[in-house]
């Protein structure tokens, strides 16, 4: 694969899947190897998108409608893509994002049971022709995820307060996304120990780095 721009990699999974821990392990590894990368998270990553993040995750905003939530995630992403991701990729940077458009399809589309086709069109509008080169989806059962999160109740945000059924629908949404995008989405069994998961992730990541070198 020869890319005339940098590499865009996204990490996805339900809350408690351990993707953030894996991101930390991966970026520590990239630093050791002296590779330049840009780490971003969604929603967020620009001043405007971080302001939107606060509104989205604030537990006080319980009255937020599903439509408002969807549009705010899309708005935060549109700003991030235009202001940060596209310029970084044009400079051949490796951009790694903790969540991207699959989160909207999985959480708002499948979790909230909104129209998935409409959401995909909205995602397309927000990303202006950009798509990740590779997505790592960390798959865990809802029971495992909840077990990992049980000590985190005080830090819970508005979306963390959703029901177990919502999490089940979101997880099965992710599995559908992976099935429909086999070239882009790699499913990682995230039920294992962090070290074992990382070995798997690193192997796959190194392969893609070698391909674009």
Does 99 participate in binding ligand Z5A (rule CB under 6 A)?
Answer: yes
Name the one residue in this structure whose structure tokens are 């939530």: 69
* Whether 40 contacts 84, CB under 8 Å: yes
Burial degree of 18 (CB within 10 A; 0-12, 13-18, 19+): buried
Considering only residues 118 to 137 of the shown chain, the ones binding ligand Z5A according to CB under 6 A are: none
Three-state secondary structure call for residue 188? strand
For the record, the structure tokens of 110 come out as 């499948």
87 binds ligand Z5A (CB under 6 A): no
Site membership for ligand Z5A, residue 171 (CB under 6 A): no
Say how many residues make up the chain. 213
Neighbouring-strand partners of residue 193: none
Q: Is 35 exposed, middle or buried (0-12, 13-18, 19+ CB in 10 A)?
A: exposed
Instruction: Decide if residue 107 touches ligand Z5A (CB under 6 A).
Output: yes
Comparing CB distances to ligand Z5A, the nearer of 71 and 212 is 71
Asked if residue 143 binds ligand Z5A (CB under 6 A), the reply is no
Nearer to ligand Z5A, 94 or 197 (CB): 197
Segment contacting ligand Z5A (CB under 6 A): 30-38, 81-89, 98-106, 181-189?
98-106
Q: Which of 79, 93, 103, 135 binds ligand Z5A (CB under 6 A)?
A: 103
Interface residues toward ligand Z5A, by CB under 6 A = 13, 15-21, 41-43, 73, 98-99, 103-104, 107-108, 148, 157, 159-160, 193-194, 197
């Amino acid at each position: 694969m020869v890319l005339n721009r940098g590499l865009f990699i996204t990490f996805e999974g339900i809350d408690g899947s351990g993707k953030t821990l894996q991101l930390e392990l991966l970026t520590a590894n990239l630093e050791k190897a002296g590779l330049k990368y840009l780490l971003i998270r969604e929603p967020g990553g620009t001043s405007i998108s971080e302001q939107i993040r606060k509104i989205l995750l604030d537990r006080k905003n319980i009255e937020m409608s599903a439509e408002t939530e969807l549009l705010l995630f899309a708005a935060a992403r549109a700003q991030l893509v235009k202001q940060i991701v596209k310029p970084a990729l044009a400079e051949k940077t490796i951009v790694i994002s903790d969540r991207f458009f699959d989160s909207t399809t999985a959480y708002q589309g499948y979790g909230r049971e909104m129209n998935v086709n409409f959401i995909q069109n909205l995602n397309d509008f927000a990303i202006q022709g950009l798509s990740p080169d590779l997505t790592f989806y960390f798959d865990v059962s809802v029971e495992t995820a909840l077990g990992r999160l049980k000590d985190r109740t005080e830090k819970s945000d508005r979306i963390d307060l959703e029901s177990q059924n919502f999490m089940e629908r979101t997880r099965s949404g992710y599995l559908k996304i992976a099935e429909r995008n086999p070239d882009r989405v790699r499913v990682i069994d995230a039920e294992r120990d962090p070290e074992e998961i990382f070995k798997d992730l690193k192997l796959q990541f190194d392969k893609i780095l070698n391909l674009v070198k």
